[in-house]
Amino acid sequence: MDVLERIKEQVDNNPIVLYMKGTPQFPQCGFSSRAAAALQDCGVEFAYVNILADPEIFENLPRFADWPTFPQLYIKGELVGGCDITLELHQTGELQKMTAEAAASKS
């Protein structure tokens, strides 16, 4: 399968997906770490992809949604943003609402 189709499938099949360096337990980048911590704080299940373990996704994710940096958070198939946006939405309480709603919509 083409890598962009593979990414499309991941963001369509999981209501919340974080593309990050490392894992939520063992993050390998400060920005990824903070984004994962904010999501964990929301208390909902989320999927993650360790881009360091998947070079093809690492190379191609930036052109999927025309976003040059990592991490990248997708909710209901849409790019929400990177670390700064995730943290800002978490601070305002918006992220908690968005993730709760996305988790509830999971069929």
User: Is cis: bond before 55, omega within 30 of 0?
Assistant: no
Pick 18 or 89: Cβ nearer other proteins:
89
Which is nearer to other proteins, 10 or 58 (by Cβ)?
58
Nearest-angstrom CA–CA distance, 52 and 58: 7
For other proteins, the closer of residues 15 and 82 by Cβ is: 82
Please report how close the Cβ of residue 87 comes to other proteins at its closest, in angstroms.
7
Can you list the alpha helix ranges (DSSP code H) found in the chain?
A: 3-13, 30-42, 55-64, 83-92, 94-105
Output the smallest distance, CB 14 to other proteins, in A.
19
CB of 107 to other proteins, least distance (A): 26
Is 83 a known ligand-binding residue?
A: no
Distance (Å) of CA 87 to CA 10, 12, 63: 23, 23, 23
The token pair that represents 91 in the structure block: 């601070």
Q: Which residues bind other proteins (CB under 8 A)?
A: 21-22, 27-34, 52, 58, 66-69, 79-85, 87-89
Residues annotated in a binding site for [2Fe-2S] cluster: 29
